[in-house]
Amino acid sequence: MTMATSETLSTTKQATNLRNYILVTGAYWADTLTDGAIRMLVLFYFYQLGFSPFQVASLFLFYEVFGIITNLFGGYLGARFGLKTTLFMGLGTQLIALSLLAFAPPSLLVVPYVMLAQALSGIAKDLTKMSSKSAVKLVAGETQGQLYRWVSILTGSKNAIKGVGFFVGALLLTLVGFQVALMILGALVLSALVLAMALIRGDLGTANKKAKFTHMFSHNRAVNLLAAARIFLFGARDVWFVVGLPVFFVSVLGWDFWLAGGFMAAWTIGYGVVQASTPGLIRRRVEGAHEPDGRTAALLAFGLAAFPAGIALALMNGVAPTLAVVGGLLAFGVVFALNSAVHSYLILAYTDSDKVAMNVGFYYMANAMGRLAGTVLSGLLYQLGLRSGASGGLVLCLWASMAFVLIAGAISLLLPVNIAPRTRPIALNDLGE
């Protein structure tokens, strides 16, 4: 093969990788926007019907439970059949979930039925996320600087789009009602599925027919520690953000649904922008080394703990609730976004390309476990805290958030600290194993 031919093949491969990255990201965006919109639609619609905070939280129970199961089995399916297959499965499942709610007679919109639809939505979201983030590892290759940038852009843009989804869901509920809104979202997902099936080239990884389910449980110490830290990091966010915060906005501050959804959208968009900008915001001050490591994750977690504690103390000492919560939430969002982006980079840096689907699936199973704990506790603690006053529910959620973040920081202290410049993922021999 001549040098010119080799260069042509390399250029063609790069163009295909970039094309697939754009298409995978677009499919992920469509599913993410829909997922955020469904969250607001279900939350506000059923709260409007008179459901208590804990009852509202229970509607998302199967969403999170099946997210755990999906991440466990999804990584195995991705390794066994290829990431393109699991990406299409995720989009198709989301379409079914939307249809179940959009076309159901009103008599069927009861808790068990909605929980079933939410279970399918949880499966869809995590299949799509696992497929998209694993695909980035494959199309970016082993160059860590490019991997860091691409995964930060994907993760950050995903959260910005999810924020748009929050606003879209709340606005559609106000303008067209629950079921028509779901039909509109279904049309969006269908369009994304058709385009992805028609335009994505290649298999997004080689299917490994010898992959075994037992391989899902990582033997990489760094991956296991990062997964444990992830449980508590995302539990710390969702314990007050999922149910407690939107209910607080509506019931205590008296905000309309669209305003509450709009603020949560703006917060999530800003959070996504910070995530996408993380490579420029966090720079290792060691010559030639610009990627974060375990020490970065630990320092960010301990710094994050100050914000829920500060908001809780402000509310307990009579600071205006709007000022305390809105201002504190903005600061929390910046530091939490940096935490999350560093985690999203480290999971890909700690794993090898031939194990990426399984390790990412295992890691996001831990992520879903944190969301499950946070979601259930958000409704339960908020309801219990109301006994001590209107703001007591959110205050109790915030103290739980602080405790979760401190645990995440303590676990992160055990993560590898890799101070040397590197151009490959951290391997087991880097960890002393």
* 261: CATH: 1.20.1250.20
pLDDT tens for residues 164-206? Answer: 888 899 899 989 989 999 999 999 999 999 988 888 776 655 5
User: Best-predicted range by mean pLDDT among 44-48, 159-163, 402-406?
Assistant: 402-406
For residue 2, is it within any domain?
no
The region of weakest confidence among 122-131, 334-343, 401-410 is 122-131
pLDDT beyond 90 at 232: yes
For residue 1, is it within any domain?
no
What does the pLDDT read at residue 196? Answer: 84
The mean predicted confidence, pLDDT, of the chain is 78
| Cα torsion angle, 32, 34, 37, 38, sign | negative
User: Best-predicted range by mean pLDDT among 148-162, 201-215, 259-273, 305-319?
Assistant: 305-319
Percent of the chain surpassing pLDDT 90: 20
Q: Indicate the pLDDT class of residue 135, thresholds 50, 70 and 90.
A: low
pLDDT beyond 90 at 283: no
pLDDT beyond 90 at 69: no
Q: Residue 69 corresponds to which amino acid?
A: I
For residue 66, is it within any domain?
yes
pLDDT beyond 90 at 25: no
pLDDT tens for residues 141-150? Answer: 555 556 656 6
Bridge partners (DSSP) listed for residue 286: 289
Label each residue of 32-64 as H, E or C.
HHHHHHHHHHHHHHHHHCCCCHHHHHHHCHHHH
What does the pLDDT read at residue 427? Answer: 36
What does the pLDDT read at residue 136? Answer: 63
DSSP 8-state assignment for residue 354:
G
Number of domains in the chain: 1
Our separate counts of H helices and E strands in the chain read: 16, 0
pLDDT tens for residues 412-427? Answer: 998 877 644 333 443 3
Residue 299: exposure state from Cβ atoms within 10 A (0-12, 13-18, ≥19) = middle
The C-alpha atoms of residue 241 and residue 370 are separated, in whole angstroms, by: 13
Torsion of CA 111, 114, 119, 120, to 10 degrees: 160
What does the pLDDT read at residue 267? Answer: 85
DSSP 8-state assignment for residue 82:
-
Biggest distance spanned by C-alpha atoms of the chain: 77
- 109-132 average pLDDT score: 84
| Cα torsion angle, 346, 38, 33, 402, sign | negative
pLDDT beyond 80 at 302: yes
Range of the domain at 319: 7-431
For residue 418, is it within any domain?
yes
The C-alpha atoms of residue 14 and residue 11 are separated, in whole angstroms, by: 5
The residue among 124 and 399 whose pLDDT is bigger is: 399
pLDDT beyond 70 at 162: yes
- Check if the beta carbon of residue 4 is closer than 8 Å to that of residue 180: no
Q: Token pair for residue 263?
A: 């603020």
Residue 289 phi, psi (nearest 5):
-120, 115
Inter-helix orientation angle 221-241/392-412, to 10°: 170
What does the pLDDT read at residue 106? Answer: 83
What does the pLDDT read at residue 163? Answer: 82
The C-alpha atoms of residue 373 and residue 240 are separated, in whole angstroms, by: 11
The region of weakest confidence among 177-191, 272-286, 404-418 is 272-286
pLDDT beyond 90 at 269: no
* CA angle in degrees (0–180, nearest 5) for 205-208-212: 130
- 264-276 average pLDDT score: 79
Q: Token pair for residue 148?
A: 């860091």
pLDDT beyond 50 at 363: yes
